[in-house]
Copies of this chain bind each other. A is one copy, B any other.
């Protein structure tokens, strides 16, 4: 074979994929398979979004959208951030992207160079490291277990080197459901400004918050340092539409758009219309959030009652469960055994850089989730007896 980019050899097939493959063997068996691996909302896409997009498809040209995203959508996104967070965001500081993934990829390609180091707290979403690796840089993963899995400046300082170029944060966190306090957020922003670091803030779960408010890293005082990533996959269940956005300073947007334009031209015009409808007509997703919240509380309580430690989710659609004292198996082997014996599919914590955990997605009805947790507890207790 002719030579390819050698960084690609460092990128492995994801652990999530391995479990998904293993799932196939157990489909249609006697005991129903409960698949809690994928981070895809089960709640339906708002009908209004489908209907208005269909109407648009019947009348509009569906030609190349404006470079960087249709102006109506970018204006609506700006308005949303102005109203919700009191920020001064304008349309020319926004790029509409092919989901939040393309936003991340575009941001990383724009600012990360070979040899750079990028800091991120553990547990970490598995989509970041391959992009950093492909850029020839290094993702430095920070243990935050002593700070309730919140990133703090004290921890950042320990990992900072002259090579550090950026910090990736993801609150509410996939997989931990942890959110960040205003104080820590402000400290991190100040630290980034003082040390000339970029912050890539993946806030794709910003709308799914249980109770407290979301502290966005996008702040007027720190616009030079921050690239915000967001999208409609989680808030409006629009996963298959591939639609998201990036917000950055106007100057940074000038760089980002060069990468974006030549990488994808634009996001689909159809999906852009869907996102516009989401923001204009389906802004209130509180009833959906309530469902995720109830699921999270129910599962968390069940685990607690069984003396199993899990990180209490404050947002997002996951629960991250500790295997400490439960097993000596790797999280992958544990997940495989759980699947084999109890037909419950979960993601091994190693996928997020923490081998003594597993992740459950809260994307099934509460009774199915409860059934899965019962099976999990049963499995754990069986292990105890062995």
Contact = CB atoms under 8 A, between A and B. Distances in A.
Interface of A: 1-6, 8, 11, 17, 38, 40, 45, 50, 53-54, 57-58, 61-65, 67, 98-99, 101-102, 105, 109-114, 127, 130-131, 134, 165, 196-198, 224-225, 238-243, 251-252, 255, 258-259, 262-271
Contacts of A251: 1
Copies in the complex: 2
30 contacts: A1-B224, A1-B251, A2-B225, A3-B111, A3-B113, A4-B111, A4-B255, A5-B112, A5-B255, A6-B113, A11-B258, A11-B262, A38-B64, A40-B63, A40-B64, A62-B239, A63-B239, A98-B242, A98-B265, A102-B264, A102-B265, A105-B264, A109-B134, A114-B114, A130-B258, A131-B262, A240-B269, A242-B269, A243-B268, A270-B271
Contacts of A40: 63-64
Given A65-B240, A240-B61, A101 B265 contact: yes
A45 to B, nearest CB: 6
A268 B242 contact: yes
A184 to B, nearest CB: 22
A111 B64 contact: no
Contacts of A62: 45, 238-241
A36 to B, nearest CB: 15
A252 B265 CA distance: 24
Nearest to A44: B61
A264 B111 contact: no
B266 A263 contact: no
